[in-house]
Structure 1
Amino acid sequence: MTTTTRPAATGLTALASPVTIAGLELPNRFVMAPMTRFRSPGGVPTDEVAAYYRRRAGNGVGLIVTEGTLVGHPSASHETTVPRMTAGAAEEGWRKVTGAVHAAGGRIATQLWHLGSERRPVDGIPAWTPSGTTGTPEPASAAGSPPMRTMSTADIDAIVAAFAESARVAARAGFDAIEIHAAHGYLLDEFLWPATNRRTDAFGGSPARRAAFPAEVIRAVRGELPVIIRFSQFKERAYEARIADSPAELETILTTLADAGADVFHASQRRFWEPAFPGSRLNLAGWARKLTGRPSITVGSIGLTSDFPASRAMARLGEGLADGEFDLVAAGRILLGNPSWARLVTEGRPAEIRDYEKAHEDVYF
């Protein structure tokens, strides 16, 4: 799908300009990144969850990406307060959320999620993984974790079917797009990373084969709604990990996903301003756009001015948008402590933009 803009803009005005991505008309280029909040008892989003997302949409975030939402399979997670995308009560709860965001003038995508090896043993169900390994030494806190299950081809088919069913639920619940979580060391990303994917069948080995399972998921959800795929180099337990050591290897992985039907690439970096590979200024989102021709979302410590001064961050974002390096800008933690951040940025009111404070993450909703 193509990206259209109207009209050309630079700097902060570029962030505020409307854009059409994968057929989805957005009022601006701000995205709320997914952040788990543990406020959905029994997997069902509440009225409080709807109000939480509405506040951000009403304060200038054009596209909300929900917190990770579990697909309807027993292996997806052990968590009981993380939302699910299943028929019945959860679907009804999400319908309230999408209605609230739309009423505030925003658009909303659900992020579909399976924890893979991050699943814990509270219910005795083993963690489903590509090859029965986390790829890194297990921390002491993981002692007593359930045995890891190396997925069979039948297991792969079952998870693909679970993603497809959750996509159908999301479409009925009024979502505007679907994001597939294939980053940060969770199940789909574990297939992409050689350290966790040691398979010798059609789903392991070469970069294209490592991407085959995420590609099957994309094909299964394709047709319900526009498809965003979130990917990363780093993992939650391995910040130096890489799914691709060169642009050529990354191209093989991402074009496999694009050919399967990925409309947009959400490239997660710890710091958006860092080049993804030596010899080029391009960040990970820039490489995704260059290699696939598909729109991309940049994310990574945006708004956290202790890491990168706000004036330099805004200049870098403006340059990236003007140069076509990436199309959308996602912010995460700063929007927890300051839900009006996007609006204040576009209104040019830096004195009113408070830095993110760690204490706010757990107390502000």
Structure 2
Amino acid sequence: MQIFQPWTIRNLHFKNRIVMPPMCLFTAGPDGLAHDRHLVHYASRAMGGPSLIIMEATGVLPEGRISGNCLGLWEEPQVTGLARIVGACQREGALMAIQLNHAGRKCEAPANFILGPSALAFGEDYPLPREMSKEDMDRVKEAFCSAALRADRAGFDAIEIHGAHGYLLSSFLSPLANQRKDEYGGSLEKRARFPLEVLEAVRQVWPKEKAILLRLSAVDHHPDGIQLPETVEFVRMARPLIDIVHISSGGNARVPIHVYPGYQLPLAQAVKKETGVPVIAVGLIQTREMAEDILVNGQADFVALGRELLRNPNWVHQNRKEAGLPYEGPDIYRQAFD
């Protein structure tokens, strides 16, 4: 079965095609430190057999987090707890990545700290962000770079830059959030300028042998938002700077989204077909058969299982057994799956 076949990209030697996507626990504190709950959560999934675990959205600045309970990598003391988690998970055979993020106009922070491409609030119950100056952009770029260096010191195999779900980089790409009149707004090329600058800066400081992933919202599910052809073109622009693209959708507009198993697969398939960049598909992928079909049909190169791995950390072991394949996990679990 293809979902259990290996794959290599740069330094990442995948033992199978199953990825645990980033899902926020919101259990850190104002200090952004990882603690025992994070360790138990991630290490138990690593023991369950996914090839790659992408740790949750982690703030590159204290005021740039989705909530005050998100992890952080803006200062050195935060490295120690993350390194403990990375080591535990790698010892169980998982590759480890961390998603670096600035939440932009969706930050939970004092209003005077909230930044966006334009002075447009996400909604009536959100504070008005300040339109970013070039000095703001430089500071955020520096923060992404510093966080990447700390991620390397923590031992991560890869980083994922969060460019999805209406957070800062995503909002620059979206015409709904970015209505700037300067060189950072207007055409796709201009809207893409700042996200590309961040990627370029991070690529320069991140070890050349290590992979960079990029998560994107391929569409805003809104007629005036970013559309799939623009996302395809942006991935082409970013291709020299990234190794894998992780395709999601939405987050820049409060609109109803028709959600069903595999609802984002056409987006992943189009990006893979049109760009040639390896793709992670995500979005209510629920069964082994569905995951296998995605790979066999060429819709993606990897499948991310979020809810399934929350429900069943041993999803990989269970599904290998059901497929008649030998057990490959920790010896202490062997009697449950042989």
* Shift in Å, 1:62: 0.8
Q: Secondary structure at the match of 1:184?
A: coil
The alignment partner of 2:213 has SS state of: strand
Alpha-carbon shift at residue 316 of structure 1 (Å): 4.1
Show the counterpart of 1:231: 216
State the partner residue of 1:297. Answer: 280
For residue 337 of structure 1, the aligned residue among 307, 311, 314 is 311
* 1:208 has 2:189 as partner: yes
Structure-1 residue corresponding to 2:256: none
Amino acid paired to 1:37? L
Give the whole-Å Cα distance in 2 for the aligned partners of 1:102 and 1:188.
29
The 5 A counterparts of 1:234-313 are 239-240=221-222, 243-247=225-229, 249-259=230-240, 261-269=241-249, 271=260, 273-274=262-263, 283-303=266-286, 310=287
Q: Does 1:58 align with 2:47?
A: yes
- Structure 2 counterpart of 1:128: 115
Q: Please list the CA deviations of residues 91-138 of structure 1 after superposition, one character each: whole Å capped at 9, or x if unmatched.
A: 0001001001101110110000111111235x4533100011146xx2
The aligned counterpart of 2:71 is 83
Deviation at 1:245, TM superposition (A): 3.1
Q: Are 1:34 and 1:66, in contact at CA under 8 Å, matched by a contact in 2? A: yes
Corresponding position of 1:180: 161
For structure 1, list consecutive stretches of 5 or more residues without a partner in the other structure: 1-12, 277-281, 304-309, 351-365
Alpha-carbon separation, structure 2, partners of 1:58 and 1:243: 40
Shift of 1:286: 1.6
Does residue 1:326 correspond to 2:314, yes or no?
no
Q: Percent identity?
A: 35
> After superposition, what is the alpha-carbon deviation per residue over 1:62-93, rounded to whole angstroms, capped at 9, x for unaligned?
1000111110x243137332110133321000
**CA separation of 1:330 and 1:101: change in aligned 2, threshold 3 A:** same
Q: Is contact 2:121-2:129 (8 Å) kept?
A: no
Letter in 1 for 2:55: T
Look up the equivalent residue of 2:236 and give its one-letter code: T
Distance across 2 between alignment mates of 1:146 and 1:63:
36
- Between the aligned partners of 1:22 and 1:197, the Cα distance in structure 2 is 34
- Contact 1:91–1:170 under 8 Å retained in 2: yes
SS across alignment from 1:347: helix
Q: Where does structure 2 lack aligned partners over 5 or more consecutive residues?
A: 250-258, 325-338
- SS of the aligned residue for 2:112 comes to coil
Distance between the aligned counterparts of 2:302 and 2:225, measured in 1? 23
Q: Is the CA contact (8 Å cut-off) linking 2:63 and 2:113 kept in structure 1?
A: yes
Q: How does 1:15-164 map to 2 (within 5 A)?
A: 15-41=3-29, 42-71=31-60, 73-77=61-65, 79-121=67-109, 123-134=110-121, 138-139=123-124, 142=125, 145-164=126-145
Q: Please state whether the residue corresponding to 2:190 is helix, strand or coil.
A: helix
Residues in 2 aligned to 1:325 and 1:77: alpha-carbon distance in whole angstroms: 32
Q: Deviations over 1:220-274 (max 9, x none)?
A: 1113331100001356xxx546754353x33321111213x01110001555634
Separation in structure 1 between the aligned mates of residue 261 and residue 178 of structure 2, nearest angstrom = 27
Which residue is equivalent to 1:195?
A: 176
Cα offset, 1:38, TM superposition = 1.5
Post-superposition Cα deviations, 1:290-345, rounded to whole Å, max 9, x if no partner, equal: 22211110000112xxxxxx4xxx44432331243311110112222221123222
The CA distance in 1 between the partners of 2:71 and 2:157, in whole Å, is: 18
TM-score, normalised with respect to structure 2: 0.85
C-alpha offsets along residues 160-189 of structure 1, whole Å, 9 cap, x if unaligned?
A: 111011000000100000001110111110
Paired letter, 1:295: P
Q: CA deviation at 1:60?
A: 1.2
- For the 8 Å contact 2:262–2:282, the answer to whether it is kept is no
Q: How many equivalent residue pairs?
A: 310
Correspondence 1:346 to 2:320: yes
